């Protein structure tokens, strides 16, 4: 391979790398535009428990106003009493997983270390793309 062929091949590879980089930037811009942040699982759980407790409160008040009897409320007290320890247990498990030594944290760190980033050869930016 002569030096002329080498230079032509090098220019072709640089142009190809620039096109790949432009496609990635365009894709990232498209994804970023429609990227809605997924709500955190713990926030969803708290919202659901809060909604269930409000529903129990509304139902209790509604039944009291209709019947005047409050004996059924003993059964309804068990629902939030069972939900709150379950949620606290989930939070404890999630916090242990996301600390150093937890499976989620360690997996994320291993994935970050194993990702290979492509190296683009940009000697001069004045060259025409094409």
C-beta separation of 76 from 58 below 8 A: no
DSSP type of residue 112: H
The mean-pLDDT minimum among 42-46, 48-52, 76-80, 86-90 falls in: 76-80
Helix (H/G/I), strand (E/B), else coil: 125: coil
Residue 13 half-sphere exposure toward CB, CA atoms < 13 A: 11
CA distances from 33 to 22, 24, 36 (A): 17, 14, 9
Q: Is the pLDDT of residue 109 over 70?
A: yes
Model confidence band, residue 50 (pLDDT cutoffs 50, 70, 90): confident
Query: CA angle 85-95-52, nearest 5°?
Result: 35
Task: Give the pLDDT of residue 122.
Answer: 52
Query: How confident is residue 129, by pLDDT bands cut at 50, 70 and 90?
Result: low
**pLDDT tens figures, 52-79:** 888 887 888 888 888 888 776 776 777 7
Pick the range with the lowest mean pLDDT from 11-20, 27-36, 45-54: 27-36
Q: What percent of the chain has pLDDT over 70?
A: 75
Q: Which pLDDT value is given to residue 14?
A: 92
Q: The tokens of 34 are what?
A: 């429609």
Q: Where are the domains of the chain?
A: 1-36, 37-116
State the Cα–Cα distance between residues 35 and 28, nearest whole angstrom.
Answer: 10
Closest to 44 measured CA to CA, from 13, 87, 5: 87
């Amino acid at each position: 391979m002569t030096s002329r062929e080498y230079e032509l091949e090098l220019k072709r590879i640089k142009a190809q790398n620039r096109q790949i980089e432009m496609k990635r930037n365009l894709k990232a811009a498209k994804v970023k535009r429609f990227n809605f942040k997924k709500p955190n699982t713990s926030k969803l759980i708290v919202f659901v428990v809060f909604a269930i407790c409000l529903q129990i409160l509304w139902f209790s008040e509604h039944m009291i106003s209709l019947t005047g009897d409050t004996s059924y409320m003993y059964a309804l007290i068990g629902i939030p009493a069972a939900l709150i320890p379950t949620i606290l247990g989930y939070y404890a498990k999630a916090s242990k997983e996301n600390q150093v030594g937890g499976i989620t944290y360690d997996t994320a760190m291993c994935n970050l270390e194993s990702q290979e980033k492509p190296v683009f050869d940009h000697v001069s930016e004045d060259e025409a793309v094409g």
